[in-house]
């Protein structure tokens, strides 16, 4: 019994450590880019206060981008994004496989991995795992009230596999919340 | 409760000469511990719940102020503490009921870890994956520590996982089936009948959601009910065959009982002409119905073959064959014409009710007898509304309906009680 209990606890702990480790790996090794966000403030019974982050790369009109075609709901999508002269990031092309493995990227480009959450007409709605940002309780209103009056942006780390993690939340360019590793 | 019932029943056994008075005392002494164990289990569960609520309240009150590492520490302590306490209770502590309750707390703690770590590190990946990880933790706990309650929670979690994939992400989530098979194998190997029962119920719930997601693709909204009915009939018959084939009859009995409920309820839905008319034939429904008919015919033949000569000529078997022939005719007519006839289907349903009630009375199966009478009552109610709602004046409709149903309910309840009493009497005589 003791041996089996120990094995079980190690497996469970390892699976949780992998959850944390993969996020820390992305935060530690990923390239940091800044995306302009349009958050709203829904409340969830189970997950406390959080803001939903939507950026320009979340809505991709396939007529505006290159790359592959024929994506279905829940398909994995690799979005090649590029930095524009005004420092914003824009989707350049979409792919079924990581384009970084096929060709070297320019300095102002990176690839972010996600999935197609919805398709409306010629527009793909993508999720990259950076859509929810949990904030200290009761501070959601503060951010909600800032919408429209202040520029809200999010810094994300993107690793070489395309995985993304939220690094910090910014209000008018000033850091509002920053993620420490521990 | 079991001890009290055993006390009453065993007195009759001594009178019938089945057992001696001495043997009766030994049996009663053997079951003496049964009453307090239920109380202990209840107290353990309440204790675990209170502890859980207290811990959660305390942590929630101080959560924001804690650094990430401290939060992770608290979560790990909760997980390890629950499992280690369970390990001690099951081992040195010799407290199996408390140990089982603490294992349940351990599985809950693992789920809390997943959700709160996702919150701490802003992980918003495909969220059913988190439920799958939680389910895996439950299955592992059940497998490694032989815990039925962990298997029960894993079954429920697996349904949430697959249900979310299907209803939120519109996926035809067949991936649940291998997980289901794994849980089923484990439960059968360990003889966990509660988990087995829940697995059969889970299968039906999953199947209906799966078929509901599948059907809009073929433009046939109510076809899942028809397809579900066919599966329920197949599994009812399979359960009957299994009861005679394998040493442990309970697996077959559980499968038959759960499938009968599923079959009677989905059949009842189809007795509504408005619903039945929408079940149209198309490519998917056609091959599925034909394949299921062949399976039902095969299992029915196997079931008939294994019956004793006496049983083969019984009223129950005759009604069963009549029902089978009627069902085959209706299904073949459906395949040919593309429509199900409401009057023929209602007659068939009535035949199924008679078969169920006669079978339950013959096999002295009280719960199936109750199911028979219950479905008979709701079928009659539905037909009354169908037939007279438009024909009668509203006040007359309710007056006649009320009087009719009071009279019918009295007759049915008397008949049901008489049959149950008869079954109990026959049981004592044997």
Chain B residues within an 8 Å CB radius of A137: 64
Q: Would the CB atoms of A182 and B90 count as touching at under 8 Å?
A: no
Task: Give the pLDDT confidence of A60-98 residue by residue, as tens digits.
Answer: 998 899 889 889 988 999 999 999 988 889 999 999 999
Cα(B222)–Cα(B214) distance, rounded to whole angstroms?
A: 11
What pLDDT, on the 0 to 100 scale, is given for residue B429? 57
**Which residues of chain A are modeled with pLDDT < 50?**
41-47
Task: Give the pLDDT confidence of B179-207 residue by residue, as tens digits.
Answer: 999 999 999 999 999 999 999 999 999 99
Q: Would the CB atoms of B137 and A48 count as touching at under 8 Å?
A: no
What pLDDT, on the 0 to 100 scale, is given for residue A42? 47
Task: Give the pLDDT confidence of B103-118 residue by residue, as tens digits.
Answer: 999 999 999 999 889 8
What pLDDT, on the 0 to 100 scale, is given for residue A107? 84
Confidence check: pLDDT of B88 > 70:
yes
Q: Are B375 and B260 in contact (CB under 8 A)?
A: no
- What is the pLDDT confidence band of residue B35, given thresholds at 50, 70 and 90? low
CA distances from A18 to A6, A24, B236 (A): 18, 10, 44
pTM, 2 dp = 0.80
What pLDDT, on the 0 to 100 scale, is given for residue B38? 66
Chain B residues within an 8 Å CB radius of A16: 75-76, 79, 113-114, 117
CA distances from B387 to B164, B325, B345, B349, B390 (A): 39, 27, 15, 17, 7
Task: Give the pLDDT confidence of B336-363 residue by residue, as tens digits.
Answer: 888 888 889 999 999 999 889 888 888 8
Closest residue in chain B to residue A7, using alpha carbons only: B144
What pLDDT, on the 0 to 100 scale, is given for residue A45? 39
Sequence-ordered list of residues with C-beta below 8 angstroms from that of A167, at least 6 positions apart, any chain? A27, A32, A154, A155, A156, A157, A178, A179
What pLDDT, on the 0 to 100 scale, is given for residue A137? 64
Using the 8-state DSSP alphabet, how is residue A172 labeled? T
State the average pLDDT over residues B241-251. Answer: 85
- What is the pLDDT confidence band of residue B427, given thresholds at 50, 70 and 90? low
- Among residues 134-163 of chain B, which lie with CB inside 8 Å of chain A? 136-137, 140-141, 144-145
Query: Smallest Cβ distance to A47: which of B67, B119, B133?
Result: B119
Of the candidates B333, B383, B387, which has an alpha carbon nearest to the alpha carbon of residue B353? B383
Buried b vs exposed e over A48-73: b needs ≥16 C-beta within 10 Å?
A: bbbbebbbbbbebebeebebbeebee
Nearest CA distance, B123 vs chain A (angstrom) = 6
DSSP strands (E only) in chain A: 31-36, 43-44, 48-52, 59-61, 66-67, 76-83, 89-95, 109-120, 123-127, 132-134, 152-158, 164-171, 174-178
Q: Give whichever of B99-103, B396-400, B422-426 has the largest mean pLDDT.
A: B99-103
How many interchain CB pairs under 8 A, A with B?
94
Chain A residues within an 8 Å CB radius of B80: 9, 13
Chain B residues within an 8 Å CB radius of A5: 83-84, 86-87, 144-145
């Amino acid at each position: 019994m003791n041996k089996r209990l120990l094995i079980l606890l190690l497996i469970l702990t390892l699976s949780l450590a992998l959850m944390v480790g993969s996020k820390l790996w992305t935060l530690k090794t990923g390239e940091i880019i800044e995306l302009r966000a349009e958050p709203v403030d829904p409340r969830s019974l189970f997950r406390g206060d959080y803001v939903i982050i939507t950026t320009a790369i979340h809505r991709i009109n396939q007529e505006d981008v290159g790359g592959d075609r024929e994506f279905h709901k829940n398909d994995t999508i690799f979005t090649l994004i590029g930095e524009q002269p005004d420092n914003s990031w824009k989707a350049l092309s979409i792919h079924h496989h990581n384009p970084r493995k096929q060709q070297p990227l320019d300095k102002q480009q990176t690839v972010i991995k996600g999935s197609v959450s919805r398709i409306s007409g010629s527009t793909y709605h993508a999720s990259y795992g950076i859509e929810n940002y949990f904030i200290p309780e009761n501070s959601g209103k503060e951010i909600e009230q800032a919408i429209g009056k202040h520029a809200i942006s999010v810094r994300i780390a993107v690793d070489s596999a395309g995985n993304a993690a939220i690094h910090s939340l910014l209000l008018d360019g000033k850091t509002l919340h920053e993620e420490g590793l521990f | 409760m079991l001890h009290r019932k055993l006390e009453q029943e065993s007195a009759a056994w001594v009178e019938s000469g089945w057992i001696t008075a001495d043997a009766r005392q030994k049996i009663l002494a053997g079951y003496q511990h049964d009453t307090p164990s239920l109380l202990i289990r209840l107290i353990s569960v309440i204790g675990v719940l209170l502890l859980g609520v207290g811990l959660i309240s305390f942590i929630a009150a101080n959560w924001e102020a804690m650094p990430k590492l401290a939060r992770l520490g608290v979560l790990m302590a909760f997980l390890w503490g629950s499992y280690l306490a369970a390990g001690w209770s099951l081992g040195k502590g010799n407290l199996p009921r408390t140990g089982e309750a603490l294992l349940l707390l351990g599985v809950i703690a693992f789920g809390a870890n997943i959700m709160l770590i996702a919150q701490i590190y802003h992980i918003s990946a495909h969220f059913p994956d988190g439920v799958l990880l939680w389910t895996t933790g439950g299955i592992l706990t059940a497998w490694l520590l032989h815990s039925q309650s962990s298997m029960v929670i894993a079954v429920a979690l697996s349904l949430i996982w697959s249900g979310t994939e299907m209803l939120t992400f519109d996926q035809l989530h067949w991936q649940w089936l291998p997980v289901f098979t794994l849980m089923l194998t484990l439960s059968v190997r360990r003889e966990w009948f509660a988990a087995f029962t829940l697995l059969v119920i889970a299968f039906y719930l999953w199947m209906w959601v799966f078929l509901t997601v599948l059907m809009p693709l073929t433009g046939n909204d109510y076809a899942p009910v028809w397809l579900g009915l066919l599966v329920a009939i197949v599994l009812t018959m399979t359960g009957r065959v299994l009861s005679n084939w394998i040493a442990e009859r309970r697996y077959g009995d559980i499968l038959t009982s759960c499938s009968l409920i599923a079959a009677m309820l989905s059949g009842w839905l189809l007795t509504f002409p408005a619903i039945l008319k929408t079940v149209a034939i198309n490519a998917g429904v056609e091959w599925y119905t034909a394949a299921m008919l062949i399976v039902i015919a095969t299992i029915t033949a196997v079931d008939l073959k294994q019956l004793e000569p006496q049983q083969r000529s019984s009223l129950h078997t005759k009604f069963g064959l009549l029902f089978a022939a009627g069902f085959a005719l209706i299904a073949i007519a459906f395949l040919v014409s593309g429509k199900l006839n409401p009057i023929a289907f209602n007659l068939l349903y009535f035949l199924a009710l008679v078969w169920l009630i006669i079978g339950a009375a013959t096999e002295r199966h009280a719960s199936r007898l109750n199911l028979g009478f219950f479905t008979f009552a709701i079928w009659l109610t539905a037909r009354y509304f169908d037939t007279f709602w438009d024909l009668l004046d509203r006040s007359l409709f309710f007056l006649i309906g009320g009087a009719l149903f009071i009279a019918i309910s009295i007759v049915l309840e008397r008949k049901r009680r008489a049959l149950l009493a008869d079954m109990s009497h026959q049981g004592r005589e044997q």
